[in-house]
Structure 1
């Protein structure tokens, strides 16, 4: 139909645009191909994936490329080995498996000192399958922001966003910096209610495409300011979509292509990466990256080790510090698209996706799930309790 033709056209243009830039790169860029489903899922907010049945979601989460357009990044570099470490004690293993059963987890992997000390799967999922990220993708987009700063494509987090996205001039984002978007402190009003089909988060990807303009920009035009820039934190997925667009405009490359070079290859991913596109052909910075469970864990290990040669030297120290401390929850806060916890930090997404890092214990825990509801304080608290148990269980190291 007309929409599919339009989408195919803009996607082809986006690919053509990034392939030229890629050929000029000093290293061979990732191999990126357009992925287009035979029958595209509806973008109607009332039929959003947020409101699907458990069974429909479970099938979708492992096959987003079968439902939505996106870019597929081939595995092109050496795979980082994840050797087996000393297995966890039987009590800890039982606790992890009970958590998986109670929270509808499809896979859970624990790395200590870069070694696998626990790995298990459920819901018919397995080591070579891919599972979608939801907002875990935000921490990938943040890392690509760091890479773009290291490459000199973006001056710093203090650069005004309208210098990179001039289309935002005159909108609620005029006067906002890249860093304020990264920390979600733009002061722009937003509704991120995953249970409401009329919320901004449910409607943003359904806004009618405007030729030559990203959907993120089109939706941003409808928003208003509720606080001065830098003063109020509100969680807004659109801002990560804008952050992804900032990276794409500054580098001249798609997020998927840039992630292939800056994350997948240096982190040693074992499988391909899929990153969903919006209706105007741009990768969705705030969502919908699909990876193997082991590659979520590899990304965590890459971050834990500092991302040397990809991001500025102190990038992760800054990005994972609580730029926004939560006053009612000591030790908790938000950084550059990373959640901060007491003694730890991580990426998290709705329906139970997470990567949590405990630097002092050199611990990485990655989980993918299909919770019955988008959010669950009980499940998040149970996961944090597991992390605390793993951190306290300190085996003797060589």
Structure 2
């Protein structure tokens, strides 16, 4: 039996501080409805400026009185928004806004939303532009051609193509609920002023390059750094000059930056823009990379984003780090074969940029889920979005 004196000498385990837990607090409902619309109040930022001509999206509103069937029950769109915590929802058909609603407490047409991993898809668009510009030589180039500080790490010998398809073989599965997982250490470094690059450089090799899909924020973050090294510009500056000025945006967008200096954008997850401007990005992808007659994103790059011939990236073949209803290609989630060309950017907590070129449909859904990932909510959302595309097709 332990005496009172002995018990008093046992050191208490310190509770995590607010600083250490801020990532969890930012993500928690109902606070996340506010934080996901006010990231520029919480973190340093860099603007993606709207320097080109403004082109308002035509409005042709439709109540969209349709139902989708999920788990043997018919639901309407109000059910979708309630069940999946929608904060903003915009549907474009043939470039016109045919449906728009903002159920979120702080959301509206001019509200810039935290898009999480839709940022990865934006980074992919910028990589395609940089390839066409000649700033990046080839997707066969190595990470270390642009970031020699990764020589000697598990990323040594990895190509840009492997990063784009998340087949680098580096890093463990992303587990948000394990405190010392790689993705949680990454988050803590980003928000708490740590060395983000050091966290990624320490990632272990888990498979051979190109062998299998493993969803990796680290792979996408390195792509952003490669782009910055190749172009000599920050992500925000390059996006301003080579992408945002051409889409007719309503507002400036922004990336929030790491707290540690030198500050860096999170190309894997810190892009913020209005729902209508996100829809404009989808419209660009639906139109083979063309905006107002200008080839902004190379056509071949857009086509590369719609699907891959690699069997490990086919729909239903991604393994434990991808849901059964998805494939993957070029930092986009794919949804079918050549007969169903839809693909989508997806961010944690329910962010979607859904593009179906065959139906000429773009759908933006922003959400504030209580958890980062939820396979059931994700499948219900995709079921509803496909139903909308079928309605217009």
- Specify the TM-score bucket, using the shorter chain as the normaliser: 0.7 to 0.9
Deviation at 1:370, TM superposition (A): 0.4
Alpha-carbon distance in structure 1 between the residues aligned to 2:239 and 2:162: 22
Deviation at 1:205, TM superposition (A): 4.0
SS at structure 1 position matched to 2:298: coil
1:82 maps to 57
In structure 2, the CA distance between the partners of 1:42 and 1:306, relative to structure 1 (3 Å rule), is farther
CA contact (8 A) 1:85 1:112 kept: no
Alpha-carbon distance in structure 2 between the residues aligned to 1:166 and 1:234: 24
Matches within 5 A, 1:210-249: 215-249=195-229
2:330 maps to 336
Deviation at 1:74, TM superposition (A): 3.0
In structure 2, the CA distance between the partners of 1:215 and 1:263, relative to structure 1 (3 Å rule), is farther
Alpha-carbon distance in structure 2 between the residues aligned to 1:208 and 1:135: 15
Deviation at 1:258, TM superposition (A): 1.0
SS at structure 1 position matched to 2:66: helix
Superposition misfits of 4+ residues, deviation over 6 angstroms: 328-331
Which of 59, 62, 66 does residue 37 from structure 2 map onto?
Answer: 62
CA contact (8 A) 2:144 2:156 kept: yes
Which of 284, 295, 316 does residue 266 from structure 2 map onto?
Answer: 284
Counterpart check, 1:253 vs 2:233: yes
Count of residues in correspondence between the two structures? 351
1:173 maps to 155
Deviation at 1:140, TM superposition (A): 0.3
SS at structure 2 position matched to 1:66: helix
Which of 304, 309, 313 does residue 318 from structure 1 map onto?
Answer: 304
CA contact (8 A) 1:76 1:265 kept: yes
1:287-322 deviation per Cα after TM superposition (whole angstroms, max 9, x unaligned): 021111101111100111122433333111112313
Matches within 5 A, 1:98-247: 98-124=79-105, 125-207=107-189, 215-247=195-227
Query: Scaled by the length of structure 2, what TM-score is found?
Result: 0.83
Alpha-carbon distance in structure 2 between the residues aligned to 1:75 and 1:97: 33
Alpha-carbon distance in structure 2 between the residues aligned to 1:85 and 1:164: 46
Matches within 5 A, 1:289-308: 289-308=271-290
Deviation at 1:80, TM superposition (A): 2.6
Counterpart check, 1:367 vs 2:365: yes
> Larger Cα Rg: Structure 1 or Structure 2?
2
SS at structure 2 position matched to 1:367: strand
Query: Scaled by the length of structure 1, what TM-score is found?
Result: 0.82
Alpha-carbon distance in structure 2 between the residues aligned to 1:330 and 1:61: 28
Deviation at 1:88, TM superposition (A): 4.7
Alpha-carbon distance in structure 2 between the residues aligned to 1:297 and 1:208: 28
CA contact (8 A) 2:61 2:100 kept: no
2:78 maps to 97
Unaligned runs of 5+ in 1: 1-40
In structure 2, the CA distance between the partners of 1:68 and 1:42, relative to structure 1 (3 Å rule), is farther
